[in-house]
Structure 1
Amino acid sequence: MANNPIRYSFGGDEHLFAEIDQSMSLKAFFHGLTLTRALEACQLPGVLDICLANASFQVRFNPDVLAPQTLLDTLQALEADSEGDTTLATRIIEVPVLYNDPWTHETLMRFRDRHQAPEGSDLDYAAQINGYADKDDFIAAHSGTPWFVSMVGFVAGLPFMYQMVEHDKQLQVPKYLRPRTDTPALSLGHGGCFGCIYSVRGAGGYQLFGITPMPIYDPTQHLPYLQSEMVFFKAGDIVQFRAIDHQTYDDISEQVKKGMFSPRIREVTFVLADFVADPQGYPQLLKRGLYDHQCD
């Protein structure tokens, strides 16, 4: 499964940009993740930041410590060594979601003048344009297959996610015509083919489908699963949404307040070739690994 050559370009004196592909795909994401992890492992003096995106990445470096050509040569050598590497040791995480919740519903209805279909909700619109009979069928499709975290950013801790389905089954929903000035924290959003979880309250333009009681960014780090890192998600994580009812949402919220909540997490190995060979069955195998460890 050979990769296309990466296009490198320098931005000013301190940045090297790498364009892996012109569009997002699991193959492009894998290539970028492999290279950025390999570069991080090199521990080159002068590398300040490595920022992975959906089909590209950027490296910020100190040119007084690390010569630009040395950085470029290193990346090109790593690129040559990474050909055919399609295995990823990662984790799958269950994220509980109250779909069609009252808080995001109130917010999205406040901003209908900025929406393509002001007569309904965001879930109604998403179901219609994706060919589903109603929002319940759309929710089933949204939560039925795991998602890859392809990058983290925009605001602190916000994960962008790409569903592990064939290209023609991707859920596609455009962003609002004009962004909202308010979005509840921990809202589940969707724009284009990407899902996200808004880590903090603020502006946003993605369609709103629900909300999770599970914090994903906490500078106080009082929850067990956030004690090592205040930002929970990492590129390469696999997310499985679990639809919950209002009572379960309240129960988990109470556990969060008491500092007792921890999400269900399992270590898994994702093999891109296995997904390509069986794009419907392989994600379900990973999903079952959350509950019975049968994820080989």
Structure 2
Amino acid sequence: MKTRYSFGGDEHVYVEIDEEMSLEAFFIALSLRNAVAEAEIPGVTEICPANASFEVRFDPDVIAPEEIMARIRELEHKAEVSDKRLETRIIEIPVYFQDPWTHETLMRFRERHQDPTGSDLDYAARINGYDSVEAFLEAFHSQPWFVSMVGFVAGLPFLYQLVEREKQIQVPKYLRPRTDTPKLSVGIGGCFGCIYSVRGAGGYQLFGITPMPIYDPTQTVSYLKDFMVFFRPGDIVKWKPVDRAEYERIEAAVAAGTYTPRIAPVTFDLDAFNADIAGTNANLMEALNGI
């Protein structure tokens, strides 16, 4: 990997570890981002992490652009020898797959899709080599996903599937974005899964919807009172398929303030994962059984 540094306007330095997303690039970016934060460089006002990169905002009246870039470059060696272990959490996210609301939406926008004759799930299953939608959904929810960044839209997680590279599900985005997407829709664009935190435009293929809010600027949802954004980079997600009755039960519990997401603390070790992906995933998901 060769780190690329560039300026973003007058107040930002962009640091890209790799053009291609990988867990290795994510960990190096996270380590370098942490090193920049710990260095407490004068003039740094914000650090925004992404999949395999991060951006530093600085005050040019306090530190010159060339100096801030040089200071960040000096810290790169710390990231290369960093510990590839992350104390994080695994979260169970209920999903009502093939729900009527995302299906109605995606059928309204078939003229913008690669395959106007079927659904997003039909297309995703076919191009990934699955014989049925059910087999595709089993591959989608049977293994955990890693939150590699949060953003683009407030609170929206980008999720990277924790499987061997050749087994990763990939589906291109719509040819032209939709002008509408239901809030809390679940889907994929490229190799990244996501949950739409708010209603709005979007181009990801739609597979289902969760009843669990992940962004609440009013901070009235019981588990979002401390912070309006639920996800953070490094979180691990286990999808749990639910039917309509369970979806409505959880939705009612959220409204009543009695819903508590299933969360367990875990340690993610990149070297252990690369050595035994199936075993690591089984251990991660087993952590949820103890709560």
TM over 0.5: yes
Verify the 8 A CA contact 2:12 2:57 in the aligned structure 1. Answer: yes
From 14, 17, 20, the counterpart of 2:14: 17
Q: Secondary structure at the match of 2:234?
A: coil
Q: Which shows bigger deviation, 56-65 or 161-170?
A: 56-65
Q: Secondary structure at the match of 1:33?
A: helix
Verify the 8 A CA contact 1:93 1:239 in the aligned structure 2. Answer: yes
Change (3 A) 1:5 1:174: closer
Correspondences of 1:147-158 after superposition (within 5 Å) = 147-158=145-156
Match of 2:126 in 1: 128
Q: Secondary structure at the match of 2:115?
A: coil
Q: In the TM superposition, what is the alpha-carbon distance from 1:12 to its structure 2 partner?
A: 3.2
Verify the 8 A CA contact 2:16 2:54 in the aligned structure 1. Answer: yes
Match of 2:258 in 1: 260
1:290 has 2:273 as partner: no
From 224, 233, 238, the counterpart of 1:235: 233
Q: In the TM superposition, what is the alpha-carbon distance from 1:58 to its structure 2 partner?
A: 1.1
Match of 2:86 in 1: 88
Q: In the TM superposition, what is the alpha-carbon distance from 1:124 to its structure 2 partner?
A: 1.1
Match of 1:143 in 2: 141
Q: In the TM superposition, what is the alpha-carbon distance from 1:40 to its structure 2 partner?
A: 2.5
Could you report, residue by residue, the CA deviation over 1:96-149 in whole angstroms, capped at 9, with x for unpaired residues?
000000100010011111111111111111111111111111111110111111
**Matched AA of 2:278:** Q
In 2, Cα distance between equivalents of 1:244 and 1:195: 18
Correspondences of 1:173-184 after superposition (within 5 Å) = 173-184=171-182
Unaligned 5+ runs, structure 2: none
Q: In the TM superposition, what is the alpha-carbon distance from 1:83 to its structure 2 partner?
A: 2.1
Q: Percent identity?
A: 61
Q: Which shows bigger deviation, 255-264 or 35-44?
A: 35-44
Verify the 8 A CA contact 2:222 2:254 in the aligned structure 1. Answer: no
Correspondences of 1:208-219 after superposition (within 5 Å) = 208-219=206-217
**Matched AA of 1:45:** P
Match of 2:24 in 1: 27
Verify the 8 A CA contact 2:31 2:78 in the aligned structure 1. Answer: no
Q: In the TM superposition, what is the alpha-carbon distance from 1:70 to its structure 2 partner?
A: 4.1
Change (3 A) 1:179 1:12: closer
Q: In the TM superposition, what is the alpha-carbon distance from 1:69 to its structure 2 partner?
A: 4.0
**Matched AA of 1:249:** Y
Correspondences of 1:171-210 after superposition (within 5 Å) = 171-210=169-208
Could you report, residue by residue, the CA deviation over 1:219-276 in whole angstroms, capped at 9, with x for unpaired residues?
1112232111101111111111111111110100000111111211111111100011
CA-atom RMSD in angstroms: 1.4
Q: In the TM superposition, what is the alpha-carbon distance from 1:210 to its structure 2 partner?
A: 0.2
Match of 2:5 in 1: 8
Q: Secondary structure at the match of 1:160?
A: strand
**Matched AA of 2:84:** T
Match of 1:160 in 2: 158
From 43, 48, 52, the counterpart of 2:45: 48
1:113 has 2:120 as partner: no
**Matched AA of 1:75:** I
Verify the 8 A CA contact 1:104 1:210 in the aligned structure 2. Answer: yes
State TM-score, norm by structure 2.
0.95
Q: In the TM superposition, what is the alpha-carbon distance from 1:174 to its structure 2 partner?
A: 0.7
Q: Secondary structure at the match of 2:93?
A: strand
State TM-score, norm by structure 1.
0.94
Aligned length in residues: 290
**Matched AA of 2:90:** I
Q: Which shows bigger deviation, 50-59 or 162-171?
A: 50-59
**Matched AA of 1:37:** N
Verify the 8 A CA contact 1:213 1:253 in the aligned structure 2. Answer: yes
**Matched AA of 2:114:** Q
